[in-house]
Structure 1
Amino acid sequence: MKKLGLLLILMLAFVACNDEEKDQAITEVKKEKLAPIEKEYGFILNDFEVVRDTIRSGDFFGAIMDKNGVEPGKVFEITESVKDSFNPARIVAGKKYLLLRAKDSARTPQYFIYENDKINYTVLALGDSIYADKKKRPVTIKRREVSGVITSSLSEAMQAQGLSNLLVYELSNIYQWSIDFFKLQKGDQFKMVYQEKYIDDTIFAGIEKVDAAVFKHSDEPYYAFRYLTDTISGQPSFYNAEAKALQSFFLKAPLNYSRISSRFTRRRFHPVQKRWKAHLGTDYAAPHGTPIVSTANGTVIASSYTSGNGNYVKVRHNSKYTTQYLHMTKRNVRNGQTVRQGDVIGYVGSTGLATGPHVCYRFWVNGRQVDPYRQNLPSAEHIEDGLKEEYFAYIKPLKEELEQIPYKNI
């Protein structure tokens, strides 16, 4: 009887263990079925073996394909097939890419996905059907309001609010003709209404546009409203509360994020030549490689090098005005080229007679070198009288929105 009882207990234990194993197996199957589906770039990544990488310096498309098992003949066929829509030879170091392989024994590469930027990407099909398809990631626009106060610099004011440095560029770009950003004062305040871009509703992808702003400098409010008057070009401009253009014929300075290290003067002790002489330009000290822009539309009349000027560019804007930019590490334009206001014409360096990285900005009026800060320079066109009523109606709600944003104080 005891043996029978023991046998019964063992049988019950076996059945329990077997049921437990079955339950565990069912749970594991359920977990597999509940595995999240990962979608990106229009593909279900679960269907592929995914290789994520970044283009490195010295990498080229053929080498990347060879490393992943694509024969040279196939690489040539791919390159020739897509050359009119995508040039694999122009992939750039630092850009991310994905390689999607088939889940088979050969792990054959099916797609090469190249990120042109945060939003735009190119899908390169590598199979029997070869093609290049340019696509965009889904982008949402979010409207924001911000207020800040200057304690030492505009960039620090933005950082104090946890804001993108892109807003520094946007704000300085809007007001570069009306506010001297080298003379900002502690306590100056600003407010903005702007739009940000987000990928998949979560990843910040930059500033879409600034709709309206007000910058209180030396207790004077400078309003700015984005408004389209040129329907031919489709390019909006910024105007103030009186319908006057903020843009000037000339920019205040040929570069951002710098300081004036030496002003225009008839008598200065030259730091290299060690003698007193006229300094007929304005020096802007800035980090090596900082972009230098043309301060107005014009034609390049010199892009050259001399022992004194180093690498330099000279631009004629019209029969009256000419500007020159000295000591570049690299020139970005050629003689005879047409440039527009804000185009990058070179990069800050210390070539020629220079003790450190800076650009010497020179300004001519009717063939005579002058101090640009002492000139009454022309402005861009204002809104015509016949269009002002429409403009004022457009900016009214924007101005009211700005007024509702409280100013930040120190």
Structure 2
Amino acid sequence: MKKIFISLFISIKLFAISSVEELSWENGKTLLDFLQDHSISLNLYYNLDAEDKELSAEISSGVKYQMLKDEQGELEQVLIPISDDLQIHIYKNIDNKFVLNFTPISYTKETRTLYVKINNSAYQDVYDESGSVTLARAMVRAFRNSVDFRKAKKGDSVVLIYEQKRRLGKLFGDININAALANIREKEYSVFLYKDSYYNAQGKELENFFLTKPVQYTRISDRFTRARYHPILKRYRAHLGIDYAAPTGTPVKSAGEGIISFVGNKGGYGKVVQVKHISGYMTLYAHLSRFAKIKRGQKVKQGQVIAYVGSTGMSTGPHLHFGLYLNNKAINPETIVKIPKSSLSGKSKEEFLKIAKTYENRLQNINEDFINPPKEQNIENFMEF
């Protein structure tokens, strides 16, 4: 009900708004910086509780956000996504004062199918046919460990069944390829998405990226949760990572091989290290007491000490907040912290095989006579009403 009310409120306010501008969040910018830049009271941030201050640090560099202005060019509302499901909503109330809330993102889901005959390269042909770089990248990730597209010849084909989101009329967030089939040199390769990992038709995992636990901990004090409505607090909350409780000074190790992409302070997360890995993955280590001898751009090995547990930022006690992101989208670290290339068994395998069989039938029925969905069009980032 609240989600409907928020959407209705935005729609009503739009009648008094003359323009909506879409911008990209600058690298290193914090919510406090944004409020200061637009002469909005900093108390909107300082009055947040510890969890919400931490959550505000989840704004990703490059994320698209919207600023809604009235006919005089005065700011009325701001929508800043912090995940695929949750956003910061800043708006003027009936007293003409700015208010900050965390609200669910209103979007529509679309399940689509694309058939592509290879003429140049699989990546380029998928982009040319769909108009979506995100889809082309998702295809590469799905087939990364099963198909070498460099061996493809003209006339080979790819079929993708995928799910995408649309927000404010534009594509939003990442694209999930649920199933795909590649015909390369008269040989078929199929992949299926199951619980954030790709498997072949027999239920064998195809991912070669895996993580180890980054710290020796006493307990898990908080687990990963997406946007959810808190019935007591009567507002939306999320926790986009795992909290490992451990004594101050406990060594924090890189969960995987990669390159240090950030070392420094990050709002409610306090002292933070970020590591970029292969295939679009990134890990975040927060609330650190101090850093090891590392610097941005440095290569690190899996298990290498990069920092030490602390309680900096908005923290109630010493612990490591460990976040995992795929193409800037927060995902549950527990799906990747495991042994590599495992095979499904038991009830999980039974469930997977049913899903795979359904998709397999759909994939096999798609051929060159299939009519693809309309190509995505670029939309200007400034719209007049």
Scaled by the length of structure 1, what TM-score is found?
A: 0.49
Once the 2 structures are TM-superposed, how far is the Cα of residue 98 of structure 1 from its aligned partner? 3.2
Tell whether the 8 Å contact from 1:39 to 1:45 is kept in structure 2 after alignment: no
Counterpart in 1 of 2:111?
Answer: 143
Q: Does the 8 Å CA contact 1:148/1:408 hold for their aligned counterparts?
A: no
> Is the alpha carbon distance of 1:126 and 1:245 closer, same or farther for their aligned partners in structure 2, counting shifts above 3 Å?
same
Q: Does 1:115 align with 2:80?
A: yes
- Corresponding position of 1:46: 15
CA distance in 1 between partners of 2:277 and 2:175 (Å): 22
Matched, 1:163 2:149: no
CA shift for structure 1 position 114: 3.6
1:237 alignment partner in structure 2:
197
1:11-410 aligned within 5 A: 41-47=10-16, 54=23, 60-65=34-39, 75-82=41-48, 85=52, 96-98=65-67, 111-116=76-81, 121-126=87-92, 131-199=99-167, 202-228=169-195, 236-248=196-208, 293-294=277-278, 303=294, 312-316=298-302, 334=306, 380-384=341-345, 387-407=348-368
- Could you tell me how far 1:154 is from its partner in structure 2? 2.2
Write out per-residue CA displacement over residues 54-103 of structure 1, whole angstroms, 9 at most, x where no aligned residue.
Answer: 589798533422xxxx7xxxx34445335754669x897885543556x9
- Do the aligned partners of 1:95 and 1:114 also contact (CA within 8 Å) in 2? no
**Closer, same or farther in 2 for the Cα pair 1:314/1:110, shift >3 Å?**
closer
Q: CA deviation at 1:312?
A: 3.8
Please tell me the residue identity of whatever aligns with 1:113.
V
Shift of 1:404: 0.7
Shift of 1:381: 0.6
Q: Aligned letter for 2:116?
A: G
CA contact (8 A) 1:119 1:199 kept: no
Is contact 1:304–1:313 with CA below 8 Å preserved after alignment? no
Letter in 2 for 1:41: I
Contact conserved, 2:197 with 2:205, CA < 8 A, in 1?
Answer: yes
The answer as to whether partners of 2:107 and 2:165 remain within 8 angstroms in 1 is yes
CA distance in 2, matches of 1:342, 1:130: 31
**Structure 2 residue identity aligned to 1:314:** V
**For residues 163 and 55 of structure 1, do their structure 2 counterparts lie closer, same or farther at Cα, with a shift above 3 Å needed?**
closer
Provide the aligned length of Structure 1 versus Structure 2.
Answer: 260
Counterpart CA distance in 1 for 2:99 and 2:36 is 17
- Over 3 Å counting, the alpha-carbon distance change for 1:214 and 1:62 in structure 2 is same
Q: Tell whether the 8 Å contact from 1:297 to 1:317 is kept in structure 2 after alignment.
A: no
- Greater relative CO (CA pairs within 8 A, separation 6+): 2
* Secondary structure at the counterpart of residue 161 of structure 1: helix
Shift of 1:301: 9.7
SS in 1 for 2:300: strand
Counterpart CA distance in 1 for 2:68 and 2:282 is: 44
Q: Is the 8 A contact 1:191 1:402 kept in 2?
A: yes
- RMSD over aligned Cα atoms: 4.9
Identity %: 17
How far off is 1:173 after superposition? 0.8
C-alpha deviation, 1:166, in angstroms:
1.0
C-alpha separation in 2, matches of 1:336 and 1:294: 24
- Decide whether aligned partners of structure 1 residues 247 and 53 sit closer, same or farther in structure 2, where only a CA change above 3 A counts: closer
Query: C-alpha distance in 2, partners of 1:343/1:51?
Result: 29
Deviation at 1:155, TM superposition (A): 2.5
Deviations, residues 280-302 of structure 1 (Å, cap 9, x unaligned): xxxxxxxxxxx962479999998
Q: Matched residue of 1:316: which SS?
A: coil
Change (3 A) 1:243 1:92: closer
Q: Give CA deviations for 1:312-341 in whole Å, capped at 9, x if unaligned.
A: 4131369xxxxxxxxxxxxxx946899999
